[in-house]
Structure formats: C-alpha cells, structure tokens
Amino acid sequence: MVVTGFKATRYRKLTTGQKEANRVLAAGRAPVEHGFAHLKNWRILTKLRTDPARATGLLRALLVLTNLEVAR
C-alpha cells in the first residue's frame, strides 16, 4: 500500500488537518529517502547480482557503515 499526501489545486486549498498530515508523512519519509541516497554512494550495489537473502545482510552491513560515516 502506498500512502501519498494531499494535493491542493488552484480552486481547492488544503485544510489545516491536511497540511499537518502532509507534514507528518514527510517527516516519516525523509529519513528513508536519506538512507537510500546514502546507500547509492556504495557503487558495489550497482553490480550486485546475488540471492536477495544475501543482499539483505549486505545492505544491513552497508547501512551500519553508512550511519557511522554520516554520524562523524
């Protein structure tokens, strides 16, 4: 299931509740998008041709290394 925000049109402005819902959605989405952006720095992922179960372990290890690097 994909959750998307509310969209205003020229004729229909967003209500205060809809704006707040968009803010909450964006706040939850931002860390995930930043994580994917940081993982793209690892070029090994572009050549990864392996079993998804093994790739999950590799991605977890890379995410830990990336978080350590970003936190410095």
CA 32 to CA 24: how far, in whole Å? 14
Angle at CA of residue 1, ends 23 and 50, nearest 5°: 110
> Does 48 score more than 80 pLDDT?
no
Neighbours of 39 (CB within 10 A): 13
CA 68 to CA 17: how far, in whole Å? 37
- Which pLDDT tens digit goes with each residue over 10-44? 999 999 999 999 999 999 888 878 877 777 777 76
Asked whether the beta carbons of 56 and 29 are under 8 A apart, the reply is: no
